[in-house]
C-alpha cells in the first residue's frame, strides 16, 4: 500500500497524487483500470480476490484491476498488474472509461475514474496467491445468471461495467 496513485478531476485529467490507502480512506477521486480477458471460446476469465485484500476479499471480479502509479501510463499499468496478479499478459485494447463511487462496510471508499481494457488470450494464468484466491473461465450467459442470483458474490465495479463490456465484446467478435 506504499504506492502513490493519480488523483483526477471528473473528466479523468491528472491533478495530483496521493497514497493509495489515503485515497481509499478519504474517498478522493483517482485513476484506476479494469482488465477483462476472454479466451477464444468467448469465456471470460474471472478472478476471486484474495481473502485478505483491503476490500472485497473473496469476491469474484474481472480478470485484473488496480491503479496506475504516479507517473505511469494506464496501459502500461494494466499490463504490469495483469502479469503481477494473473501471471500472464496479452494485447489489450481500451474500451471505455466510467466513474463510480462505492462505500464498503469497513469504511473504505472507492471513488474511481476507471479505464476498462479488454484482451483475448488462451494463455493459462498463473495467479499470485497474495492477490488471487482462485480463477475460472465462465460462459457469459452463465455469468449473467449468477450475477442475478448471487450479486453479493461479485465486486461493485464489476457489476457496474460488465454489461457495457459484453456489449462491446459481442460487436467486436
List the grid coordinates of 42: 468467448
Neighbour-count burial for 130-167, b at 16+ CB within 10 Å, e otherwise: ebbbebeeeebeebeeebeeeeeebbbbbeebbeebbe
- Selected catalytic residue, list 64, 110, 112, 161: 112
Asked about 65 being catalytic, the answer comes back as yes
Spatial separation of the C-alpha atoms in residues 13 and 8, rounded to whole Å: 5
Is 64 in the active site? no
Among 64, 65, 110, 161, the active-site one is 65
Contact 139, 49 (CB under 8 A): no
CB distance 61 to 14 below 8 Å:
no
Query: Mind telling me the catalytic residues?
Result: 65, 112
Amino acid at each position: 500500500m506504499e504506492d502513490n496513485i493519480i488523483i483526477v478531476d471528473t473528466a479523468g485529467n491528472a491533478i495530483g497524487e496521493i497514497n493509495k490507502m489515503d485515497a481509499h480512506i478519504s474517498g478522493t477521486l483517482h485513476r484506476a483500470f479494469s482488465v477483462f480477458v476472454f479466451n477464444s471460446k468467448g469465456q471470460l476469465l474471472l478472478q476471486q480476490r484474495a481473502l485478505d485484500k483491503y476490500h472485497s476479499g473473496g469476491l469474484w471480479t474481472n480478470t485484473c484491476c488496480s491503479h496506475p502509479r504516479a507517473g505511469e501510463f494506464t496501459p502500461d499499468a494494466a499490463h504490469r498488474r495483469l502479469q503481477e496478479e494473473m501471471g500472464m499478459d496479452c494485447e489489450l485494447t481500451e474500451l471505455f472509461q466510467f466513474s463510480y463511487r462505492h462505500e464498503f462496510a469497513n469504511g473504505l471508499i472507492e471513488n474511481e475514474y476507471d479505464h476498462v481494457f479488454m484482451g483475448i488470450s488462451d494463455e493459462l494464468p498463473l495467479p499470485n496467491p497474495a492477490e488471487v484466491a482462485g480463477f475460472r473461465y465462465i460462459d457469459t450467459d452463465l455469468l449473467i445468471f449468477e450475477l442475478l442470483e448471487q450479486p453479493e458474490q461479485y465486486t461493485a465495479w464489476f457489476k457496474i461495467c460488465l454489461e457495457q463490456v459484453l456489449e462491446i465484446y459481442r460487436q467486436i467478435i
